[in-house]
């Protein structure tokens, strides 16, 4: 097993572990803003997971998904913040 394969395996394990930890904060989070931050970080971690997975499976198709996911995560966060601001006004 070369160093490259070993580091890809370790990276997959570490990123999966951090997705589990962020999911814990998503369940625990006392305020709704904590949950929004956790969702944003989950999609960011999904991008990194996609990049490592494309190396592990030796296909390059999934990197396009990463671009779309980055776009959707930003738009979703801004939309959530907009509706939170409207909720405070009423």
Partner 1 sequence: MIEMLCGALLLLGSVFILLSAVGILRMPDLYTRMSATTKASTLGIGLVLLGTILYWRDFGIASRAVAIIVFLFLTAPVAAHVIGRAAYLGKVPLWEKTKIDELGGPEEDRRET
Dist CA 90 CA 80 (whole Å): 16
- Least Å distance, CB 24 to partner 1, is 6
Identify whether the C-beta of residue 65 lies closer than 8 Å to the C-beta of residue 51. no
Identify whether the C-beta of residue 24 lies closer than 8 Å to the C-beta of residue 57. no
Is position 60 an interface residue for partner 1 (rule: CB under 8 A)?
Answer: yes
Is position 17 an interface residue for partner 1 (rule: CB under 8 A)?
Answer: yes
- Least Å distance, CB 83 to partner 1, is 9
Pick from 9, 12, 32: which is nearest to 20 by CA? 12
Is position 2 an interface residue for partner 1 (rule: CB under 8 A)?
Answer: yes
Number of neighbouring beta carbons within 10 Å of residue 76: 14
Considering only residues 1, 27, 37, 57, which one is a binding residue for partner 1 as defined by CB under 8 A?
37
How far is residue 81 CA from its own chain's centroid? 18
Applying CB under 8 A, the residues found at the interface with partner 1 are 2-4, 6-8, 10-11, 14-15, 17-19, 21-22, 24-25, 31, 33-34, 36-38, 40-41, 44-45, 47-48, 51-52, 54-55, 60, 63-64, 66-67, 70-71, 73-74, 77-78, 80-82, 84-85, 87-88
């Amino acid at each position: 097993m070369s160093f490259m394969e070993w580091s890809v395996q370790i990276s997959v394990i570490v990123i999966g572990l951090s997705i589990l930890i962020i999911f814990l904060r998503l369940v625990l989070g006392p305020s709704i803003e904590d949950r929004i931050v956790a969702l944003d970080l989950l999609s960011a971690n999904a991008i990194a997971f996609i990049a490592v997975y494309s190396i592990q499976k030796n296909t390059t198709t999934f990197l396009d998904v990463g671009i779309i996911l980055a776009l959707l995560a930003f738009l979703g966060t801004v939309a959530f913040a907009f509706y939170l601001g409207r909720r405070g006004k009423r």
